Structure 1
Amino acid sequence: MVTVPLMKQIESLQNALRNKERVWEQRETDIIRKLDESVEKSKAFGDNERTLKEQIFTLNGRISNLEERLTAALFKSEELTNNLQQKQIEMDLMESDHKLKLKTLEEDRKSLRVKLSDLESHSAEQDRKITQQKDQLETIKQQHQQSHPSSKHDQSNRHSPPSPSQALGIALGGSRTSSPTPSMGNLSLPESIGSIPWNQMDDDAGSNSGRQTIGGAPLLHTTSLLENLQATLKQRDGEVYQLQWELSRFQQERNVLNAEISNLTAELDNIREKSERTAQLEEDFQQLQERYDALLQLYGEAVEKIEELKLDLVDVKEMYKLQIDDLLRQVAAGRKL
């Protein structure tokens, strides 16, 4: 009678033990599965960590390279900007100087044109006076021939006045010996204009018929001075053209410098864009670093949780082992009774 209830109790305990073992085996299976998953996650975290480290190393190298290039580009840009400003100042000074010279030459050219026009007018007036003097000389010669027809040949050889061409030649020779033409190369423009014998030409125009041929000398002076003034005007025109050419060349250089400024500005904008990209990369790197730190923290927590689960599993195994041993001892003790 005593044995039957004890056997029932033992069977009940065995059934309960088997149920508990199944439950604990199921829990152990779940824990092992979770442990495997945690190990897989740990491996994945390790792979991600290595990948992130490689990316961080690559980004650090690229950032260092970009910083070096940015520093060199900024230094070069500053140097080129200083050189460009210096050249711009020099070019502005030279352009102002050439514009001033060009203005002075333009004024001189206008003055020379006015004086040349005056000389041409005066030369035309002198030509008209010489023509009148020649006509008067021909009239006097004809009157003289008509009043002395018997001694026409002798008197024409001995006493007749020289022809206009001979008188002009005599006047030319006398003018070359007595009053040489001033040299335009050694005189300035006011001195050249002032050296024209206007009063002498007017006095010669009002003299008698025997001295009327002297008017050729002022004409020669006027013609020579006119030619010299024309040569001086051509020389000044050449200087004006030379300065205009230099001004055009400086404008071309200025255009080249402006193009270089545009290129440097574009390069500087490119450098600034790269700098902004570098700042963006640094920000991305900071975010990756934060994510990396968060993943490390999660990995550490997962490792700690796995260790805790392992310890809990060991404790549960020990506890069930103790309970099983206790039940076995109780069963053995019941059988002895």
Structure 2
Amino acid sequence: MAGDGEYERDRNYLTTRITADGRDGFPVEPGRYRLVIARACPWANRAAIVRRLVGLEDVLSMGIAGPVHDERSWSFHLDPDGRDPVLGIERLQEAFFRRDPGYARGITVPAIVDVPTGAVVTNDFARITLDLGSQWTAHQREGAPELYPEKWRDEIDDVAEKVYRDVNNGVYKCGFASSQEAYDKAYRRLWDRLEWLEERLGNRRYLVGDTITEADVRLFTTLVRFDAVYHGHFKCNRRKLTELPALWGYARDLFQTPGFGDTIDFEQIKRHYYVVHRDINPTGIVPLGPDPRNWLSAHGREELGGRPFGDGTPPGPPPPSERVPPLGTG
């Protein structure tokens, strides 16, 4: 937290990369690594979506931490005996300590763990999704989309940086501000950017080009949590997502696209934010609403054209062990 009450995210991550040529000592190998996520976390949600879109389920296993954690780390309290079935650990913290016994930074998801050693390789969330799309191509499914096409990279990077600064991280700057001035500043930047996005998406189906790209993945994970959490819990309450026609239609379009909505568990999302953030919600009461079934309503965005997967194809259904509960059953 800055001296003026502004929330500052710690971005000091383990930046070791898993690459096709193994330049950092960790070559891409089917079955060697385990992606650890939490359904609740928007940053981890990105990695789960990209893994689904490019079809890496059979070569990169996924562990799912539960929605509630303490100051030590995310834990595997949803798994039998409270342990990840592949890594055999109760807390993600153990994998970070195997990498560095004196590790003193944040224990964050997503993280990719080297299964033979049980040590975290990387928790650099921004790089993880780019590398899943570019370094694992030899093992991607047939028809995997290109999420970071060369001809659009400069625009994708520009849009993604604006979205990160003002929206992805902006909601946290509102929620964790400790002064009125810091909150007011973050709130205005958030809504200025949301209004910019509302205008941008008024006549185009996707953020960049005419296909789904990395930029859409990054925006979606904040939008899908907006009304359920950020609007009230983080005081981002000028309007609800459902009151922004273009963004609401865009978010539903993505939600109904294979690989997006089938990674979302609203009950885990709400349980994490409302239970863990006791400084914001001291009672720990988790709201019952909003009703998530409106995410399946018609959006009409097909009329704007675009090809969701470009020259590729949609992914198949998720593996049975990774399926989320149907909407409205929580």
| Fold agreement, TM-score > 0.5 | no
Q: Which structure shows the bigger proportion of residues in helix conformation?
A: 1
Q: Which of structures 1 and 2 has the bigger CA Rg?
A: 1
With normalisation by structure 1, the TM-score equals: 0.18
Q: Which structure shows the bigger proportion of residues in strand conformation?
A: 2
Higher relative contact order (CA 8 A, sep 6+): 1
With normalisation by structure 2, the TM-score equals: 0.18
